[in-house]
Structure formats: C-alpha cells, structure tokens
Amino acid sequence: MHENTLAQLSRALQSKTLSSVELTEHYLKRIEQLDPLLNSYITVAPELALAQAKAADARIAGGTATALTGIPLAHKDLFCTSGLRTSCGSKMLDNFIAPYESTVTARFIDAGAVTLGKTNMDEFAMGSSTESSFYGPTRNPWNTEHVPGGSSGGSASAVAARLCAAATGTDTGGSIRQPAGFTALTGLKPTYGRVSRWGMIAYASSLDQAGPMARTAEDCALMMQVMAGFDERDSTSVDEPVADYSAGLNDSLKGLRIGLPREYFGDGLDAATADAIHAAVKQFQALGAEVKEISLPNAELAIPAYYVIAPAEASSNLSRFDGVRFGYRCDDPADLTDLYKRSRGEGFGPEVKRRIMVGAYALSAGYYDAYYLQAQKIRRLIKNDFMAAYEQVDVILCPTSPTPPFKIGEKIDDPVSLYLTDIYTITANLAGVPGIALPAGFANGMPLGMQLLGPYFSEARLLNIAHQYQQVTDWHSRAPAGY
C-alpha cells in the first residue's frame, strides 16, 4: 500500500479498492515499527487519524470526496493543530497544545485528509539538518547515519520512508527544498504570499512559506491545490487567482528556456551533483528545452544578507516566548526580568539563542544601518538579478546543496559551515520567487537533488517541468532499502 504515490492512493480510495481506515492503520503500524530509529515524528495521533479516516470513508461512500479525502498526511510541527501538541521542535513549546487550527491544516481537514501526526524539525525552523531539535535528530532513511536535511527533515524522512503519503513543510532559507534534495523527494516552495502563514509559528515573516513535500510532482500538485489561496487572516497573503496545478502537468517543454547560473557551478559544488545536473540538462534538451548560461551576480551576498534578515525578524517573532501566556516557564522566578531571561535561556536551544542574539544586535541602535538596512539593499539587488534573468530565460536550474547529505554530527558544532550550505536555496526566499526541488540522481546510494526556480506565481509551470522530467527518469520512484 505504502509503495503507491498519493495520486495512486487517491484513485484507489475513490474506486473503493482500499479504505482510508485500512490505509491509515497501515501507516500507523509502519510508524510504530520503523519510526523509533528514524525519529521523524514528534507526535503521532492515532485516535484522531482513525476518526478522520472513518469520516473520510463515509464521505467517499457519499460521493462528496476530493482528491485528498482519506489520504494520510504528516504535518511539520510548526503548524498550529487544534488540540494537538505543536512544539516547533523546542522545549519552549513542548507543553503547548495549540488552541486553534492553522489555515493550511484547516484546508486539509476540510478536504477530508487524515492527520497521522506532527513531524520533527530543527528548533523553530532554524537549521539545515534537523539536528537542533529538542526531540533529537531525525535520520535519513537512505542511510541512517546521515541527516535528512532541515529544517523540514522530519517531513522529508517520513515521506521517503513511506510513513505517510505526503507531508507539509515550510521553507524560509531552503527548508523544504534542501531536505527534499537529501531524501529523493519533490518539494515546492511557493511564491511568497501564495500560501497562508496564519497559524504557522513564525520564524522570519518576510521569508517563511509553507509547501508540499511528496514523492512526485503530480502529488505536489494535488497538495498545492489544497494549500494555495488568499487568506484574509494573513496580511501578507496575496489575492491572486489559484491556478489548476494539475491541468498543465503534461504540457510540452518545447521552447522552454532554462538558465544555469554560472555563479552556482564553481569550485564549491560536489562533482557528483554537478554531473547529475549536467545529465538533467541533456534530459531537458531532449524534451525540447533550450539551456543557456546566465548570471546571478549578487548570489554570494545572499548568505550574509539572509543571516541578518532572518535572525532580525526571528528576534522580533520569538520575543513572544516569555513564559507569561503559554509555553515553558522557569521555576521560581525571582522577578519579572528573571522570568523572561531564564524561561528563554532554559526553553530555547543554543542555535535559536544565537540567532535571536545576532538579530537583536543587527537591529540595535548604531548597527541597524550597517547590518539590517544593508541586508535589505542587498535583497533588492538579488531580486533585481532574478528579474533580469527572467528576461532571458523562463526558469533557472541549479543544485539544492553543495554536498550530498552529510553525516549526523558532522557540521552541527560549526554554525557558519552549516550556514554556508544554504548557498543555493536562500536566494529564492530573499527574492520571494517559487522553487521546486526534485531528485536528479544518486551517488553512493545517497540522493542528489536539483531545483528549478521560476518567476512569481509560476508554480504550475514548475510542477509541469518537474513532472515531464519524472516521465523520463525514475529517481523519484526508488525507495530506500528496508522501507
């Protein structure tokens, strides 16, 4: 059952060759057997899942089902899910039962999907390996000594290990695309403002975006159809009509112009990854695309700019965690200042504290111009680079990571070396453009990913291109041994 893609499961449920209860029980059993090693779930919700599955079967019988009705999903533990613990991978929220439902998860509930549970993540979404979680690291099912990437590593691992049909993730600096690349999945970061952030625990408000993580572009299209749309309650939500993400999947790629940024194919890139992308170039050319070199001249400045803007916004967003209204409170606070300082000092992990402090510094009197304002100007330059590139090409092709998935423990003690691995993903968040990651090959049994970046609101086109590539390659249909 779990070998099937979401699209196949959807058809099986609709034709009643399979029930949602059977499917849900199957995944719950797999989670019980296989997740103790992987640690991809923080919270599993068997009673809720089975109740939803039962309701889904009734709805299917009644003829009012949609594509996602009865489909068991996992949600990154950053979406507020009413009545369920929502921890953000942090001790600060280990006791937090969300009192309301996020827009994204509410949309899946309305569609009749089943919630299997909440997945592990880097604490407060700050990380690229899922090693900073209060609940311990998640392991990559392709090789359990290696990271699944981050911060949506739990979602990636759960989907890759076939412990759910698909999952939601979020991407602020690459946190959907990099783990998708590390686990042979397809993951989409939509245009900023395409998917509502209401009920998403905020990290960096001008960068955060939720998106699907699944085994195929076709599956991601089905997930996007549920997730995308204007939401009154998110003041950054864009009132742009929602495309039919599945309708154009089979459009021809003839005449598609693909750009390869020269700045992204230099010395820092792993040779096997570079080879996989050059092989993909040939595939795209065979499908009718033209491929040419382009330039993103300010690409290198993206990392310092991001590591000012994101921590600055985080320092503001995480100031709400003060031990007063919810979440962790320290024991026996001596006074109000002690309450704040120790609740935060004890409740947050080291990486979160570092980023809050970097952000506070960058925004403080005397440093604002040199750091925050400068970073925002660089952000403008990066956006301009994309706009100029899209005058010459329709989409940009590049790697998701400079290296294949690294070993657990290899980079976590050196924050800066981990930050530098975000080089390919960060630019899309700064510019707000959409990007899709998909599998491009394997090296030593480990997945190699690539991504396609498009103009604003080109998600349907990105899904189409990925789908066409997946019709002529089979990286996406491989499963890790034992899963």
Mask for 137-176, x = binds another protein (CB under 8 A): ----------------------------------------
Decide if residue 91 touches another protein (CB under 8 A): no
Decide if residue 99 touches another protein (CB under 8 A): yes
Q: Least distance (Å) from another protein to the CB of residue 195?
A: 14
CB pairs under 8 A, 24+ apart, for 277-280?
A: 277/397, 277/398, 277/399, 277/440, 277/450, 279/440, 279/441, 280/397, 280/440, 280/441, 280/450, 280/469
In the set 129, 151, 237, 458, the catalytic residue is 151
Which residue number, 96 or 182, has a Cβ lying nearer to another protein?
96
Q: Restricting to residues 22-81, which ones interact with another protein according to CB under 8 A?
A: none
Catalytic: 76?
A: yes
Cα–Cα distance for residue pair 365/411, rounded to 1 Å = 33
* Span of 105-113, 220-228, 255-263, 319-327 interacting with another protein by CB under 8 A: 319-327
Among 108, 142, 419, 469, binds another protein (CB under 8 A): 419
Token output for 406? 């690294």
In the set 87, 128, 132, 175, the catalytic residue is 175
Which residue number, 166 or 378, has a Cβ lying nearer to another protein?
378
Q: Restricting to residues 178-237, which ones interact with another protein according to CB under 8 A?
A: 191-193, 206, 232, 235-236
Cβ atoms < 10 Å from Cβ of 110: 11
In the set 19, 20, 40, 76, the catalytic residue is 76
Decide if residue 305 touches another protein (CB under 8 A): yes
* DSSP code for 150: S
Decide if residue 481 touches another protein (CB under 8 A): no
Cα–Cα distance for residue pair 81/340, rounded to 1 Å = 26
Token output for 445? 């049994």
Cα–Cα distance for residue pair 315/12, rounded to 1 Å = 47
Q: Least distance (Å) from another protein to the CB of residue 355?
A: 9
Q: Least distance (Å) from another protein to the CB of residue 347?
A: 10
Size of interface with another protein, in residues (CB under 8 A):
72
Instruction: For the chain, report the end-to-end CA distance as a whole number of angstroms.
Output: 12
Among 361, 403, 410, 442, binds another protein (CB under 8 A): 361
Spell out the residues 6+ positions from residue 258 whose beta carbon is closer than 8 angstroms to its own: 281, 284, 289, 290, 291, 292, 393, 394, 395, 396, 397, 452
Which residue number, 182 or 192, has a Cβ lying nearer to another protein?
192
Which residue number, 47 or 331, has a Cβ lying nearer to another protein?
331
Which residue number, 127 or 154, has a Cβ lying nearer to another protein?
127
* Span of 108-116, 157-165, 339-347, 474-482 interacting with another protein by CB under 8 A: 339-347
Decide if residue 334 touches another protein (CB under 8 A): yes
Token output for 252? 């021809």
Strands 257-261 and 186-189: unpaired
Q: Least distance (Å) from another protein to the CB of residue 303?
A: 7
Measured at the CA of 212, the angle between CA 313 and CA 223, to 5 degrees, comes to 135
Decide if residue 388 touches another protein (CB under 8 A): no
Q: Restricting to residues 230-269, which ones interact with another protein according to CB under 8 A?
A: 232, 235-236, 238
Q: Restricting to residues 282-301, which ones interact with another protein according to CB under 8 A?
A: 298, 300-301
Catalytic: 407?
A: no
Decide if residue 316 touches another protein (CB under 8 A): no
Q: Least distance (Å) from another protein to the CB of residue 241?
A: 15
Q: Restricting to residues 362-381, which ones interact with another protein according to CB under 8 A?
A: 362, 364, 370-371, 373-381
Among 335, 391, 474, 481, binds another protein (CB under 8 A): 335
**C-alpha dist (Å) from residue 105 to 29, 168, 436:** 23, 9, 21
Decide if residue 325 touches another protein (CB under 8 A): yes
Cα–Cα distance for residue pair 438/323, rounded to 1 Å = 41
Identity of residue 403: T
Catalytic: 151?
A: yes
Decide if residue 304 touches another protein (CB under 8 A): yes
Which residue number, 301 or 397, has a Cβ lying nearer to another protein?
301
Mask for 429-468, x = binds another protein (CB under 8 A): -xxxx----------------------x------------
Task: Compute φ and ψ for 287, nearest 5 degrees.
Answer: -85, 0
> Which H or E run includes 179?
helix 177-182
Decide if residue 322 touches another protein (CB under 8 A): yes
Query: Virtual CA dihedral for 221, 225, 226, 229, nearest 10 degrees?
Result: 130
Q: Least distance (Å) from another protein to the CB of residue 337?
A: 7
Which residue number, 271 or 334, has a Cβ lying nearer to another protein?
334
Q: Give one DSSP letter per residue of 237-300, joined into a string.
A: ----PPP-TTTTTT---TT-EEEEEGGGSSTTS-HHHHHHHHHHHHHHHHTT-EEEEE--TTGG
Spell out the residues 6+ positions from residue 106 whose beta carbon is closer than 8 angstroms to its own: 199
Nearest to 237 by CA among 102, 54, 74: 102
**C-alpha dist (Å) from residue 195 to 74, 331, 380, 418:** 17, 39, 23, 28
* DSSP code for 133: -
* Span of 59-67, 257-265, 303-311, 388-396 interacting with another protein by CB under 8 A: 303-311
Residues labelled catalytic: 76, 151, 175
